[in-house]
Amino acid sequence: MADHNDLGDKGEELARNYLIKNNYKIREKNWRFGKNEIDIIAENNDTLVIAEVKTRSSRFYGEPEVFVTKVKQRFLIKAAHAYIIQNNLNLDCRFDILAVVITPNKAEIHHIQKAFYPMR
């Protein structure tokens, strides 16, 4: 597996552990709808949380969260809608980003709640 895949997998694992430690119930990881994937689907206080994890080894090119583009947001919204319909859920839903920076000395997680909203 490529190093960037290993880094991404490690970031997602750290993000899941972070959420669990903060009383989130993980419903799914790497859930797919066609070509679209949701990194983490969780529940917290009767809210469905659709979480995109962005992992980087440095901030040289910017904070990880800036790489969640409008196109990626649209894909996540479409996949989340499918998940809600397939599971017949009646929960509030929000979209979070977990920005993970892993360096040789430490790992940092920046959890951005309500990072973006579906547009009509």
Work out the pLDDT band at 79, boundaries 50, 70, 90.
very high
C-alpha to C-alpha distance for 58 and 40, rounded to whole angstroms: 22
Residue 4, pLDDT above cutoff 80: no
- For residue 61, the model assigns a pLDDT of 83
Please say whether the beta carbons of 42 and 49 come within 8 A: yes
When the pLDDT of each residue in the chain is averaged and rounded to a whole number, the result is 93
Q: Length of the chain in residues, anyone?
A: 120
C-alpha to C-alpha distance for 72 and 49, rounded to whole angstroms: 16
Domains of the chain (ranges, CATH numbers)? 3-96 (3.40.1350.10)
- For residue 2, the model assigns a pLDDT of 59
Residue 82, pLDDT above cutoff 70: yes
Residue 47, pLDDT above cutoff 60: yes
